[in-house]
Chains A and B, each alone.
Chain A
Amino acid sequence: MENKSAFKDRVKIAVQDDYLQKSVQNAQERFRTQREMAMNDLGNFQEWRNRAQEIRAHVIENLDSYLEQLSENVEKNGGYVYFAATKEEAVEYVTQLAKKKQAKSVIKSKSMVSEEIHLNQALEKLDVEVVESDLGEYIIQLAKETPSHIIAPAIHKNRKQIAELFSRVAGETLSDDTKTLTAFARRQLREKFLKADIGISGCNFAIAESGSVVLVTNEGNGRLTTTLPKTHVAIMGMERLVPTWEDLDVLLSLLPRSATGQRITSYVTAITGPRKHEDGDGPEEFHLVIVDNGRSSILGTRYQQVLNCIRCGACLNVCPVYRHIGGHAYGGVYSGPIGAVLTPLLEGIEKWKELPYASSLCGACTDVCPVKIPLHDYLIFLRQDVVDAKLTPFSERMAFKGFGFAAERKAIYDFSVAMAHKVLKPFSNESHIEKGPGPLSDWTDVKDFPLPPKDSFRSWWKEEKGGDKIGK
């Protein structure tokens, strides 16, 4: 599916889409400015990061025992736990459950893992109506698109486009003011909440010590999804857990701040099993589906820290590449720097060999990551994997072989430096090249390229300072 031209094509479409760029840039602007304010407000950001990284690294290093503790506690609370090794197994479990419950409609609260396993399509095949209750997810569901941002799935859409989508559902032209649009969505979704047979949610964090699932939302849809339908299914990536409530406190201080610049989201919902006798509401059944889908293959590798990710999207909000191409260009479920790292790791480098290059290695992502994943270093490692698998063009491999050879041989290096001027002179006008040959044309299509001056620094030094002795 993924290949070089497909990625390049998506980039070409994205950079020509003014609407997309404006929308993404506005949203990015808002998120990153607010994030900075919220972090300053927290104080000692580095210490918070260190603590968060320690917690996450500890969990990942002891993943098996925490998963065991979590599942024991979920079952103790009266819930069911299912470990899905693959996306197929996860989908099968949920579809079987839907069949058993003779479900006709499912209401969902945002879940990236369910995107990852393509759950909606599988349920729709069974003629089950699936409705996304997160406003952003609802918008892109109507547009038949996938999320373009981890936190704000419809970040790429502007108000006018949303009004068009909603008008189509309403059968009349709706105004594009926020009030009208949110009121329309609320009306639509309220009805879906009430009639849904199953509620499916994601899981921001699972708490091992109590067997609880914690959801972070701004619209209260998480609470409704997990309380109103008779059956609640929570789907989580196998790494998304913390040992204790105390640990949750640290991560919950960083997640919304990193994501949207909020101190805390409007709703933080903690669910511990299905309804109990004394409870006034809640589902009769609770299922927790823990999805591996390639994650365990990352354990013990040099990429292990990628499992620290808490899906805050901060790396997307500061990424200049994401800023200009948006999320869909990345082609996977996860976009931005984390997507460029995670997608090839989960689905194989052969299929996604272009993604590690979708970065200028500026390091803004690594700097902002609340759990200190060395994202841009990982992108370099992935490029090494691409090279080791001999997936780069032959000419490039030869060029770098030549580079390595010349770099350690003074005579050859000196000769190359001396030749640079002579080789490029014919293509230049005095000081610059405006139309370069071969691979240089990728540069000169856009920018002027400096013509190397006749004398290099090393030749000047030799002449002026008389060689490599200590200077005057």
Chain B
Amino acid sequence: MKASLFITCLSDIFYPEVGKSLVNVLEKLGVSLDFPEGQSCCGQPAYNSGYREDAEKAAKHMIRVFKDSPNVVTPSGSCAAMVRHYYPMMFANDPVWSGKAQELADKTFEFSEFIVKVLKKTDLGAVYPAKVTYHHSCHMKRGIRVEEEPVQLIKSIKGITFVDLPYKEDCCGFGGTFSVKMPEISEQMVDEKIQHVYETEADILVGSDLGCIMNIGGRLRRKGKPVEVLHTAQLLERGLNHGK
């Protein structure tokens, strides 16, 4: 199985470790990976802020970059949703680009979704003892309806005690520019979220979107009562390396 990595700007710049975990886990599963170096950002910040033209530039660029890739895998549910949901919508009336946008949409997968749906694996044989809870990011859950896959993978790790996050359907308050445009509201939302995280008494909070991880992790760190925040790929990698 061949796949191209779409590492997303947040992962590339702020969380390269997540990208590396993605590589390590997928390679262990026998996936042959490439990283088209021309890739940049999916355009979501511009699109969600109403800058359609600038978002379209980014989108067309990404469509060109991944033209020859058989599959595209990304560590972000939100960016996957951008490609899957909004690219076809953006170019719906464009005879040249609508087909190409749909093509990329059809072959783009979020990391856990790729493992479960495409590789058809739900147990990687990982082992890691920890108490874990999971934050469902909004765009992944509602945008591309990937909800069970990451939880399935986490629960398959031997030694994991999984605790459901109360009000897991609620947004953490990130929302891209929302977090800086509406800081008062965003703060209330993230505080409610971390309260729920504390209630689980989990050691590790796992997520599938680096925006949420940045937001919740940043607030947890500021509060000085940190819970470790990891991407699904990082936890799986730890589990695969455990005892080695």
Which residues on the B side are within 8 Å of A439 (C-beta)? 180
CB-contact partner of A404 in B13, B46, B186, under 8 A: B46
Cβ A447 vs Cβ B185 within 8 A: no
Residues of B within 8 A of A405 (CB): 57
Confirm or deny: B7 has a beta carbon within 8 angstroms of a beta carbon on chain A.
yes
Please tell me if the beta carbons of B50 and A404 are within 8 angstroms of each other in the complex.
no
Interchain CB contact (< 8 A) of B46 among A11, A382, A400: A400
Asked if A380 and B50 make an inter-chain contact with CB atoms under 8 angstroms apart, the answer reads: yes
Contact in complex: A407, B58 (CB < 8 Å)? yes
Specify the main secondary structure of chain B where it touches its partner: helix
Cβ A360 vs Cβ B171 within 8 A: yes
Partner of B175, one of A362, A377, A467: A362
CA A289 to CA B218, docked complex, whole Å: 54
In the complex, what distance in Å separates the CA atom of A458 from the CA atom of B23? 12
The tally of residues in A whose CB lies under 8 Å from a CB in B reads 71
Q: Answer yes or no: B173 CB below 8 A from chain A CBs.
A: yes
B134 within 8 A of A: no
The 0/1 profile, CB within 8 Å of A marked 1, for residues 34-49 of chain B is 1111101101011111
CB–CB A358/B182 < 8 A: yes
User: Which of chain B's residues have a CB closer than 8 A to the CB of A407?
Assistant: 40-41, 43, 54, 57-58, 61
Interface readout for B105-127 with A: 1 if CB under 8 Å, 0 if not? 00000000000000000000000
Known interface pairs A11-B185, A383-B49, A447-B190. Does A360 touch B27 (Cβ–Cβ under 8 Å)?
no
> Is A446's CB under 8 angstroms from B46's CB?
no
A-contacting 9-mer, from B96-104, B135-143, B156-164, B235-243 = B135-143
Asked if residues B176 and A361 are in contact (CB atoms below 8 Å), the reply is yes
- Is B60 positioned at the interface, with any CB of A under 8 Å from its CB? yes
- 8 A Cβ contacts from B183-212 to A: 183-190, 192
**Residues of chain A within 8 A of B131, CB atoms compared:** none
Is there contact, CB below 8 Å, between B219 and A447? Answer: yes
Query: Within the assembled complex, what's the spacing in Å between the Cα atoms of A401 and B55?
Result: 10
In whole angstroms, how far apart are the Cα atoms of A455 and B138 in the complex? 29
A303 CB to closest chain B CB (Å) equals 14
Is there contact, CB below 8 Å, between B174 and A450? no
| Contact among B32, B45, B170 for A320, CB-based, below 8 A | B170
Tell whether, in the assembled complex, residue B142 and residue A417 are in contact, meaning their CB atoms are under 8 Å apart: no
Provide a sorted-by-A list of 22 A–B residue pairs whose CB atoms are within 8 angstroms: A320-B192, A324-B185, A324-B188, A361-B139, A363-B142, A366-B142, A377-B89, A380-B50, A403-B51, A403-B58, A404-B53, A404-B54, A407-B43, A414-B37, A442-B181, A447-B190, A453-B16, A456-B13, A457-B7, A457-B19, A457-B20, A469-B34
Q: Please list the residues of chain B having a beta carbon within 8 angstroms of any beta carbon in chain A.
A: 2, 7, 9, 11-17, 19-20, 23, 27, 32-38, 40-41, 43, 45-55, 57-58, 60-61, 89, 138-139, 142-143, 169-171, 173-176, 178-190, 192, 214-215, 217-219, 221-222
Q: Given A363-B139, A364-B170, A384-B50, output 16 extra A-B contacts at Cβ < 8 Å.
A: A360-B138, A361-B48, A364-B138, A383-B49, A403-B45, A403-B54, A408-B60, A432-B221, A442-B179, A442-B183, A447-B190, A458-B37, A461-B35, A467-B37, A469-B34, A471-B35
B-binding residues in A (CB < 8 A):
11-12, 15, 21, 320-321, 324-325, 356-364, 366-367, 377, 380, 382-388, 392, 396-397, 400-401, 403-408, 410, 413-414, 417, 420, 432, 434, 439, 442-443, 445-450, 452-453, 455-458, 460-462, 465, 467-472
Q: Which 5 A-B pairs have the closest CB atoms?
A: A360-B175, A383-B50, A404-B54, A447-B218, A362-B171
